[in-house]
Structures are given as C-alpha cells and as structure tokens.
C-alpha cells in the first residue's frame, strides 16, 4: 500500500532521491490535505463517522489558560466511546474553515528565537538499528530523555518562566504536575534564582516527588488526580499571588516544546516521512506541528495516545474539546482528562491524526528501546515508539524514515514488574480435568507438547473436577494459533486467558478457597496508589456486606485494580451501587460469564 508523498523532499533536505513507491499517501481512503507554509487548505477531509461524544453528562472544568476559576461546561465521555485498531490513523481532524495564518507565523518566529538553550542543549537524534531491522523501516529516536530532568518538559517550562517580567518572577511560581513538568519547573526556577511550588497528586510515584525536591522545588501533595492538583494550584496561585506555570496550554510552553521539531529539521539528513509524538495535554504535539508543518508540510505529524487515555483523539474526532472521565493511568505522564484549548486549536489545524496503542504495545516499546540504547524509558516516554511500530505494522509500511520522540525516562522502579509481565511472550490457559491420579501430567504433555511451561497452578478441591492454570512460552506471537489448535484437539474444556485482565491482574495469584459462597459478586475497583485508599474502599462496603475475597497487588502506577468479592443479595444491589458511587472510585462488575470468573468457582 502507499504511504509517503514523493513530490517534495523530506526534512528540508532538497536533492534527495525519492522512493519509487508512494507508501504514505493514502490512509483509509483519504488523500493528504493541501496545507503547509502558504496555508492552502480546502479542507478535503470529512469526519469519519458521526460524533461519538455522549451528551448525557457535562463536566465543570476550570479554564486552564489563566489563574481565574472560570467554570465552563464541556461534554464528558468515556475512553471506550472511541476505539479503533492499534496502529490505525484515526481521529483525523476536520480542518477549520478559517486558518489563523498570522498566529502560525508568530509561533514559527518565536520557536526560532526560543530561550531554551540557556539551560539545555540540543537533544540527539539516534538511529535505532534493532527496531529498524525488525520493522523494515528506518526508526530514528529523538532523545528527549537525555535532558538534565530526563524529559522534554524543561523546554516549555524554562521558555515560559524566562519570559515573565522580573517583578513577577521574583515572587516565585506555582505549577501542578504528576512528575516531569514539575521537574522542569523546579529546574528552571533554580536556574532563574526563584522559588517554585509544585502541587502533585498524592498518587504520584515517590521517585518523581523526590526528584522535584532534589531540584529545589517545594512540593504540596493534594488530590488523587492531575485535575485535582491543578485546581488546588490555581487556588494557591490566587491566595499567594504566584504565576501558575501550566503544563501544556500556554503559548510560551508550546513554543518551548516546538524547538523539538526545529531540531529534528536540522538533524535529519535523510528524507523524512513522519514524526510520531506522544500526547498528554497536547503541548509537544502542538509545538512540533507549529514548526514542522510550516516548513515541511509534506511530513506527517502523528500523535500517539494510550487507547484508554485518548483525550486528544476524542476531541479531534468530536471536533470539540471533551473531558475523558475514566482516563487510564498506565502511562501516568499522559493521563490528562482534557487537552488544552490552544493545543486543540493547533492540532485541529495541523496534525494528521492520532494513533492509539495498548499497554502491551507500550511495554514492548520500552524493552526494544532498551535493547537499542540501554536506556529505560517510562511508559509515556516510549509511547511514540509504540505508535510508530504499530502504524508501520498496521499499514504494512516498508522503507522510508520516521522519527519517534522518546519524551521521558523518569521510570518508577516499582512499575518494572508489571511492564515485564506485559512483554512476556507467553500464552495462558485454564483446563478442566477429571480429578484422577496421573491425569494432570499426561494431559499437560498432550496439550503443550515439548513447549516450555512458564507457570502452572493447581490445588485439589473437588472429588470430581480440577482446574489447572498454566502458561506456555511462545517463541513468536504467531505460535499462539498453533497452541490453540493443539489444545482444541483434546476433549477437555479449555479457556484462553492470555488477554483476560481479571485473571492476569488477580486470579493468577490466587489458588484455593471455597467456591459455594451464597450471593457472591465480584467487583474491580480502580484505586489511587496512596495510603488509605484501600481502607477507604473497604470501610464503605464492610461490615455492611461480608467480604468473601480480596486481591490487590501494587503495580507501581498512580492507580491499581483491586478485586473484591462480596456477599450482596439481589435486594441490596441498589444500596450497594449507591455506596460504591459515593466513594468516587471507578468500579466495574466482573460478569458471571467472564471465563476467569467462571473458572474461579471451581477452585
């Protein structure tokens, strides 16, 4: 299939030979928009489908562009309302009828004269040989993880703070962040010889809190989410007359991040086809697009988001800003519920679309970047690499050059275990066997053959049946289908649990116990990883209802799942849901027909 337009040189390097195949031209039946330096944009791209935005609810959100708490209402949506295959270019913007050409020229000029190089140097652009060989595409890594604070956030923070009037800067600054922006603000404040106050959620990983303190920042912990911290920061900024340094929705922040795109234009000596940019609030995406689309309009600028943290994709798809109320937190650096007003405006004008990836894609990208660079990226830092890989695989791209921005390396060490679990090349099954001596050994030998068993769980509990959980090592993902066929050839009832979240996160660690508990229901609660959150949840439910089962395992992220079994009669379900909703934590019932739930009743 075709992907790259071949009529113009890439990366501003005129004179390069063009590839004969036009691999990057067409996506889902769409041509490329005619836009760029002269802004000739007839808007040929139509919306893909009717808006997915659910108007059933609205969320009051404070305007992030100033210190005032001006309440506005925007549609509240779930990340589940906009999903498409990993690697597909979706959320293609509907271009506005009027383009603010003067504003875009102002951004370009400011990027070219940014002050970021007072405190940091140009980050390297490294070729990734192993990634490139595996994909058949030249992958270049823009190493934003090499800055003094190990992320790109220093650029925007310093650019904004150094632009403040002297008397305002001397008072000190305040900001809200889950980690990387906080470190950028603290570092910039120390260089500018002023004080910084950083409001961080109580669920922020300890390593990021300590890093801010070590850079001279004063930390206040408040709330469970970034939005809670931001609201408190705005309140404190008014009380103490401090300038708030927003993480993404400010022109000076966007200009600072835009220097990443300027550097890529200088560094890239080969024809460039696309830049993949991680997206949280959209500051980096807007900044890169503001430079690159004006200078090299033929290069695709593609945002990448986790499939369960798709606030920019949801906004572009709906053609309006929305608030994603149930945002995922695996990549805690991009778990932003609402993108910025200005970042959305720029993305709508210039960005080509958004690629969504899942946790396994991100975990695999962390591993592969480590193998190429020996650097350990955080999940948000590996997001663009995951997106580039997924895009090239989905569209069967071969040849050409792409840049993926590795945006941060502030890894929480506690999260490494859960990341490694997602990278493991194994398939997990459960088989129901007759409880007879010798059956376990002979059956497993038949089911998996000579393949390596990486894990097995079994406990005698019934005179009739037994349930065996086991994992099998796969040398290649394609081998999964062969294993399934071999298992299906047996007469035993077998379930594939390879992608079952209830089993992977909870039941695989639990063997034994009663199964005939009356009125038992299972729920998964998503709790912030902070002291007291688990007790708060259990206190609301017990002793009103008996807890029959519980499993929690620290994941090293800012939130984690807790599996709770409760004895709740049907007549009490209304009261139960009222109590659960008042807690304010997300929760979902485990369906009775969920394979993991059904099998657990055997144990």
Q: How far is CA 245 from the centre of its chain?
A: 23
Helix (H/G/I), strand (E/B), else coil: 11? coil
| Beta-bridge partner residues of 305 | 356
563: tokens are 């599996």
Residues marked active site are found at 153, 407
For residue 536, count CB atoms less than 10 angstroms from its CB and return exposed for 0-12, middle for 13-18, buried for 19 or more: middle
Closest CA to 538 of 553, 520, 556, 550: 550
Q: Where are the alpha helices (DSSP H) in 243-340?
A: 251-267, 283-295, 311-318
Instruction: Give the other-Cβ count within 10 Å of 66's Cβ.
Output: 13
CA distance 318 to 101: 24
Residue with structure tokens 């009739």? 464
- Would you call the peptide bond into 543 cis, given omega within 30 degrees of 0 as the criterion? yes
Tokens representing 369 are 């970047």
Q: What's the rounded Cα separation, in Å, for the pair 208 and 212? A: 6
Q: Do residues 195 and 188 lie in contact, with contact meaning Cβ atoms separated by under 8 Å?
A: no
Please give the sequence-ordered ranges of beta strands (E in DSSP) within 118-161, or none if there are none: 125-127, 138-143
CB neighbourhood size of 213 (10 A): 13
- Give 551: exposed, middle or buried? Use CB within 10 Å, 0-12, 13-18, 19+: middle
- From the list 504, 502, 501, 508, the residue with the least C-alpha distance to 565 is 502
3-class state of residue 122 by DSSP: coil
d(CA 402, CA 270): 10
**DSSP 8-state symbol, 3:** B
Q: Quick one: which of 151, 79, 115, 133 has its CA closest to 315?
A: 79
Strands 323-324 and 71-77: parallel
Please give the distance of CA 264 from its chain centroid, rounded to a whole number: 23
Are 492 and 431 a contacting pair, CB within 8 Å? yes
Give the CA angle between residues 422, 426, 430 to the nearest 5°: 110
Q: Are 45 and 30 within 8 A, CB to CB?
A: yes
Phi-psi sector, 28: left (phi>0), alpha (psi -120 to 50), beta: left
Please say whether the beta carbons of 140 and 127 come within 8 A: yes
DSSP string spanning 359-416?
HHHHHHHHHHHHHHHS----TGGGHHHHHHHHHHHHTT--SSEEEEEE-B----GGGH
Q: What is the DSSP letter of 142?
A: E
Q: Tell me the DSSP string of 500-555.
A: -HHHHHTGGG-----S--TTEEEEEEEEESSTTHHHHHHHHHTTTSEEEEEEE---
DSSP 3-state of 574: helix
């Amino acid at each position: 299939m075709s992907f790259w337009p071949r009529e113009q040189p890439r990366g501003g390097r005129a004179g390069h030979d063009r590839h004969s195949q036009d691999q990057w031209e067409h996506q889902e039946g769409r041509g490329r928009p005619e836009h760029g330096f002269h802004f000739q944009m007839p808007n040929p791209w139509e919306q893909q489908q009717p808006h997915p935005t659910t108007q059933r609810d609205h969320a009051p959100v404070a305007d992030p562009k100033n210190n005032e708490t001006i309440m506005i209402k925007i549609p509240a949506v779930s990340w589940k309302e906009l999903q498409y295959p990993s690697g597909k270019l979706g959320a293609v913007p509907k271009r506005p009828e009027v383009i603010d050409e003067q504003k875009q020229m102002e951004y370009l000029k400011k990027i070219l004269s940014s002050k970021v190089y007072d405190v940091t140097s140009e980050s390297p652009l490294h070729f990734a040989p192993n990634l490139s060989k595996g994909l058949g595409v030249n992958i270049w890594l823009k190493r934003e993880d090499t800055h003094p604070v190990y992320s790109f956030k220093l650029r925007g923070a310093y650019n904004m703070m150094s632009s403040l009037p002297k008397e305002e800067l001397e008072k000190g600054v305040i900001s809200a962040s889950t980690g990387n922006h906080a470190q950028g603000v603290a570092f910039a404040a120390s260089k500018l010889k002023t004080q910084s106050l950083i409001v961080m959620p109580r669920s922020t990983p300890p390593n990021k809190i300590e890093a801010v303190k070590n850079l001279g920042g004063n930390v206040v912990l408040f709330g469970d989410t970034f939005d809670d911290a931001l609201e408190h920061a705005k309140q404190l900024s008014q009380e103490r007359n401090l300038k708030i340094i927003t993480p993404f929705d400010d022109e000076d922040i966007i200009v600072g991040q835009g220097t990443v795109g300027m550097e890529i234009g200088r560094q890239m000596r080969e024809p460039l086809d696309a830049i993949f940019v991680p997206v949280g609030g959209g500051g980096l995406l807007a900044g890169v697009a503001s430079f690159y689309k004006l200078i090299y309009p033929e290069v695709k600028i593609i945002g990448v988001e986790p499939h369960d943290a798709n606030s920019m994709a949801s906004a572009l798809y709906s053609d309006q800003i929305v608030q994603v109320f149930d945002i995922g937190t695996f990549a805690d650096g991009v778990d932003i519920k609402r993108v910025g007003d200005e970042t959305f405006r720029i993305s709508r004008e210039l960005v080509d679309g958004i690629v969504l990836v899942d946790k396994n894609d991100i975990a695999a990208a962390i591993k592969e970047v480590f193998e190429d660079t020996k650097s350990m990226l955080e999940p948000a830092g590996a997001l663009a690499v995951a997106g580039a890989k997924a895009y090239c695989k989905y569209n069967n791209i071969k040849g050409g050059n792409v840049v993926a921005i590795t945006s941060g390396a502030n890894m929480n060490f506690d999260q490494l275990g859960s990341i490694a679990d997602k990278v493991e090349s194994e398939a997990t099954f459960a088989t129901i066997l007759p409880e007879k001596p010798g059956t376990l050994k002979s059956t497993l030998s038949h089911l998996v053959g000579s393949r390596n068993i990486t894990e097995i769980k079994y406990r005698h509990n019934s005179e009739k049946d037994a349930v065996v959980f086991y994992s099998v090592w796969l040398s290649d993902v394609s081998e999964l289908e062969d294993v399934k066929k071999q298992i299906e050839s047996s007469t035993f009832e077998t379930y594939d649990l390879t992608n079952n979240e209830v089993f992977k996160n909870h039941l695989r660690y639990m063997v034994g116990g009663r199964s005939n508990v009356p009125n038992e229901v299972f729920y998964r609660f998503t709790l912030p990883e902070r002291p007291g959150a688990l007790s708060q949840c259990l206190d609301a439910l017990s002793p009103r209802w008996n807890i029959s089962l519980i499993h929690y395992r620290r994941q090293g992220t800012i939130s984690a799942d807790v599996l709770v079994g409760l004895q709740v009669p049907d007549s009490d379900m209304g009261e139960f849901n009222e109590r659960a909703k008042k807690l304010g934590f997300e929760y979902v019932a485990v369906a009775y027909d969920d394979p993991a739930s059904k099998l657990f009743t055997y144990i």
